[in-house]
Amino acid sequence: MLTKRFGDYCSDIYVNIFVIPLIGILIIINLIILYITDTFKSDYSITNKIVLTLLSILIISLTIGYLATNQKPLYRFDTISKLSTYKKNYSLEMFKNNNYQIVVRDNHYQCYYKGKYVIKNNILKLQDLNDAINTDRQVSNKYIINNQLDTLKPLNQGYPYLVLFHDSIKILR
C-alpha cells in the first residue's frame, strides 16, 4: 500500500499556479531549441532520447501520484470547529494499515501530518503527533471511542471532539 508514512508536508496554491507551469514552459522551450538544433544536423537521436526519458519519467510520476492519492481512508473524522466558523479545517483520516493522516485545510494551502495509530480498550492513540505545534491544539493524540462510533472524545483538555464524516465506513473495531 502507498499509505505508508512518507513524512509531513504542506502544499500551497502558489506552487500549483505559478511554479509548476513555469517549469513546464521552460522544459518545452528547451525541447524546441534542441529540436531546432537537431534539424540543422539532421540527427534527431539526442531529441528522441530526451523526449523518451521525459515521457517515461512523466508516466511513472503520474502513476505513483495516482496510486498514492487514490487511497480511500476507512474513517474520516472532522473537528467540530470545522462545522463552525473556524478558519482552518482539520480532518483525521485513518487507513487499514494502522496509518493516519491529519489534513489541515486553509484557503491557500493544505498541510498533511502522518503517522501510526493504535486502538486499545476503546482508546485511540495517534503516535508521531506533536499536537501542540502541528495542529494548533485542534487534534489531540489520544481519544476515547464512543459506542455509536460517530465521535471521538479527546482525553486531553482543551481539544474539540472529532465527528465522523458522513461518507466514512462506520466500523472501527
Return the domain boundaries, the chain.
9-69, 75-164
* pLDDT given for residue 102 in this prediction: 84
Neighbour count for residue 139 (Cβ, 10 Å): 25
Over pLDDT 90: what percentage of the chain? 0
Over pLDDT 70: what percentage of the chain? 79
Q: Is the pLDDT of residue 51 over 50?
A: yes
**Is the pTM value of this prediction over 0.75?**
no
* pLDDT given for residue 82 in this prediction: 47
For the domain 75-164, what is the CATH code? 2.40.128
* Bridge partners, 12 (sequence order): 109
* Helix H or strand E segment including 170: none
Cell 499536537, residue? 131
**Stretch 106-125: mean pLDDT:** 85
